[in-house]
Structure 1
Amino acid sequence: MECVFGMVGNGFSLVVADSSAVHSILVHKSNEDKIMILDSHKLMGASGEAGDRAQFTEYVQKNVALYQFRNGIPLTTAATANFTRGELATALRKNPYMVNIILAGYDKGTGPSLYYIDYIATLHKVDKAAFGYGSYFSLAMMDRHYRKDMTVEEAVDLADKCIMEIRSRLVVAPPNFVIKIVDKEGAREYAWRESVKDAPVSNI
């Protein structure tokens, strides 16, 4: 019952993801961070099979770092999105990754941007996007309340409305969410929305 969604506001992009690591009917942990910071000004929120998600996002992160190391300049958000889409398309014909991605970034001169990339290598630049079962509710809320000129506080308030809608309407709703933001100051964690804490590990 994964959910990842994001939106572009006035000078920033925001990505929200649930933090449940699940397999079948079991919840292994409820503090899994599914939004990777690729570099100083890029975020990648991912949903899908846990192994594919971890492997593919790390693969993209290391290749983005390698490009900057070799060339002395970072990839733009658009170039990173196209690289990611190309790798998914190549893998699709061999050993496909079951992973859906929302890529957010901020570039000088271009400003904030958000890209929707799904597991069959579809790429779109969008203002708002969502994946997972929670997307039915978060997209409905964003369709109703989203504006392109939203401030950070307004976008976070809308993200909270989406989270509350998911928790109240989805039959098996993830309890915890992480919110991250990227703007001219860089990519960073903004807040956690937790309703369940992982139990402390016993020493027995």
Structure 2
Amino acid sequence: MADSMFSSSASAKDSASSEIGSERTLYPYVTGTSVLGMKYKDGVIMAADMGGSYGSTLRYKSVERIKPIGKHSLLGASGEISDFQEILRYLDELILYDNMWDDGNSLGPKEVHNYLTRVMYNRRNKFNPLWNSLVLGGIKNGQKYLGTVNMIGTHYEDSHVATGFGNHLARPILRAEWREDLTFEEAVKLLEKCLLVLLYRDRSAINKFQIAKITEEGATIFPPYALKTFWGFAAFQNPTKGAEGSW
């Protein structure tokens, strides 16, 4: 009888432990949209809006999705905000552990990007992915670096990258107009052109943006600002024109 009660109790405990152990992000709830990044003359520049969507509702309007990582890197994220916070905790531990060596060296953007690709691929293999697409840029010893990695570990380096809708709508503009010798002012103007296209076409984008840059002097994240918009285009005023007979 006692054995039976113990067995039953242990079984219930195991079941409860199993349920607790299976808590994870099964579906992204609060998400951010596109992040844009590109190299320019003096370093790397990134841009993202500050919206956080709860499903299809634009719930939060001051979400910072670009963060400095160590001395040489900037990280931008689209996707699930809570998973981005978890990634930042991983990176805090990584940078702290690296600093504890006190050997005069510090992790550069390439090392951080490689670390993130391993983390994302490892979590994907456990069927417990971090629901983010990341942009990692930086500069160390005069070498500019820019790369991206998504939730299943697919990663690459390029002179300009984008996540989310930006990968479809902004990168064609960047391919056509990006130059390696862009000044900071020209780079900002090009990013603003891309952000405006995303604002018009991506329902999750809002007109509150942050731009960040990283150079040999360090990282700078600028205060948020809005872009001037124009909604008088004929396509916006009569979106069903040419679609007679549809719904």
The residue identity in structure 2 corresponding to 1:26 is T
What is residue 198 of structure 1 aligned with on the other side? none
What is residue 75 of structure 1 aligned with on the other side? 107
SS of equivalent to 1:132: coil
What is residue 134 of structure 2 aligned with on the other side? 101
What is residue 121 of structure 1 aligned with on the other side? 153
Aligned mate of 1:134, from 166, 181, 204: 166
Aligned mates of 2:204, 2:60 — CA distance in 1: 15
State how many pairs are aligned.
Answer: 195
Aligned mates of 1:135, 1:58 — CA distance in 2: 27
Aligned mates of 2:205, 2:132 — CA distance in 1: 20
- Report matched runs for 1:153-172 at 5 Å: 153-172=185-204
The residue identity in structure 2 corresponding to 1:131 is T
Indicate if the aligned counterparts of 1:180 and 1:191 stay in contact, CA closer than 8 A: no
Aligned mates of 1:158, 1:112 — CA distance in 2: 19
Indicate if the aligned counterparts of 1:4 and 1:135 stay in contact, CA closer than 8 A: no
CA RMSD of the aligned region, Å?
1.9
For each residue in 1:124-157, what CA deviation from the matched residue of structure 2 results, as whole angstroms up to 9, or x when unmatched? 1210000112332211221121111111111001
SS of equivalent to 2:222: strand
Aligned mates of 1:191, 1:144 — CA distance in 2: 28
**TM-fit CA distance, 1:172:** 4.6
The residue identity in structure 1 corresponding to 2:77 is A
Unaligned runs of 5+ in 2: 1-31, 228-247
Indicate if the aligned counterparts of 1:20 and 1:29 stay in contact, CA closer than 8 A: yes
Indicate if the aligned counterparts of 1:52 and 1:99 stay in contact, CA closer than 8 A: yes
Aligned mates of 1:41, 1:157 — CA distance in 2: 24
Return 56-65 or 19-28, whichever deviates more.
56-65
* TM-score normalised to structure 2 length: 0.73
Aligned mates of 1:108, 1:69 — CA distance in 2: 21
Structure having the larger proportion of residues in strand:
1
What is residue 21 of structure 1 aligned with on the other side? 52
What is residue 151 of structure 1 aligned with on the other side? 183
User: Which structure is higher in RCO with an 8 Å CA cutoff and minimum separation 6?
Assistant: 1
Identity of aligned residues (%): 24
For each residue in 1:141-195, what CA deviation from the matched residue of structure 2 results, as whole angstroms up to 9, or x when unmatched? 2112111111111100101111111122334532221110000110111342336
The residue identity in structure 1 corresponding to 2:71 is S
For each residue in 1:59-117, what CA deviation from the matched residue of structure 2 results, as whole angstroms up to 9, or x when unmatched? 123312321223532112111111111111111112211111100111014x2210111
**TM-fit CA distance, 1:53:** 1.4
